[in-house]
Amino acid sequence: MDAASAHNSPGASTLDALAAADSAGIRLRGSLVNANLAAYIVLGLAAFQWLLIVISHCVVQRRYVRRRAFVDRPAEDYPGVTIIRPVKGVDLGMQRTLESSFCQEYPGPLEILFAAEDPDDPAIEVINEIIGRYAKINARVLVGKDNVGINPKVNNMLKAFDQAQHDLLWICDSNVYTDPGTLRRSVDLLLDNKRLGVIHHVVFSEAPATFAAMLDNAFLTTNHCRMYLAINAFGIASCLMGKSNLYYKSALDNVGGLASFGQYLAEDNMIGQALWHSGWGHTMTGDLACQPADTGGFAEYCSRRIRWVRTRKYNVTAATLYEPLTESIMLGLLTSWALQHLYGYHMLPTFTTFMLCWFGMDMLFYYRINRGSPPSWPWFVLSWLCREALALPLWIVAIIGDTVVWRGQRFRFHLNGTVDVLK
């Protein structure tokens, strides 16, 4: 029998069919193995995220519900502190936020420096009125602008940094209100642990007056605050925002000084990383950096969220790319698919249960750290739902771009986190 006849024989055809079926079976088993592996990875990521949620609640209980009392030590043991508050224009509730610096129950020497660029800035009038009511406190306004980089906040407060009388600095944004015991509790931590070099306070939004402000409030008081506390609880890397930070001027000078961070938009993150890598530990007190909820419109809310994500993309790339898996809807959908694939659970009831549990934990988190309910539960719930739904679309828009607009100027990012001003 020739080769062609052998190939066309019934036996050969059967063997070919069996070989094809075996090959298809191998591919199918490989696909199932890959799908199973993907499902187990998803469940592992979900378990890790729920662990972070539990940790954040533990931190709230230990640090914020049972807030640390003042340490009983002589007043002369407390070092001098310079509070630096950069200002530009009149913020919402500015009288209350700035006055909170004058109301600190701090036994050591205190200096308050306000930094303004423009001598005609209307914030100066508000500041001078407050200074007039607290004449015994060493406070003054510094006017002028340095030009050491593209970051307007660094350019504005550099003069205050250079003229500070004390080595311990408290950099506090103009729209932040802090409890009267915040400074003393912060310094107590520094005095108790000489390896600490940065004390920071989590941002917490309050009194939203518009729906866009409610969206911002829902983000800052649940997702952002929860993740901020959980990440810092691990203490394996620097994670801070520049709303309210204490650190030593000498320590910052040793890593290049404030002026060297003027080339970054996220100077707070870069300062934190520089101090961390130079050996200074970070920690937090049980105090909140409270800011009145922004009153801008919906477009401004979206623009701010996009700017935050896009800035982080060039400073903490891996964490930013992972961010969708910290959001309820994306993680809930993936978890529902994984449980259906592995164990046959129906996706819709699984997803619904997942979202209800996530929602309940967020509401409990807010209630405990705020020590009370929001002004309106129905509006808060609605804003929470809208915030969750907007998270992934805004993240996608942020990831695919490389420019941001801040204080009326457009900037383009480089891969190393520095930026150029676009004319």
The answer to whether 222 and 210 have CB atoms below 8 angstroms apart is no
Look up residue 177 and give its DSSP letter. B
Tokens 């080339």 belong to 263
CA 83, 88, 91, 94 dihedral sign is positive
Measured CA to CA, the distance from residue 170 to residue 174 in angstroms comes to 12
DSSP SS3 for 162: helix
Active-site choice (91, 216, 268, 362): 268
188 is catalytic: no
Distances (CA, A) of 10 to 15, 147, 170, 278, 326: 9, 86, 87, 77, 58
How many angstroms separate the Cα of 178 from the Cα of each of 98, 112, 186?
Answer: 9, 14, 12
Q: Which residues contact 374 (CB under 8 A, 6 or more apart)?
A: 217, 366, 380
| 253-to-150, 250, 261 alpha-carbon distances in Å | 20, 5, 11
Contact between 325 and 52 (Cβ < 8 Å): no
Give the residue numbers marked as catalytic. 268
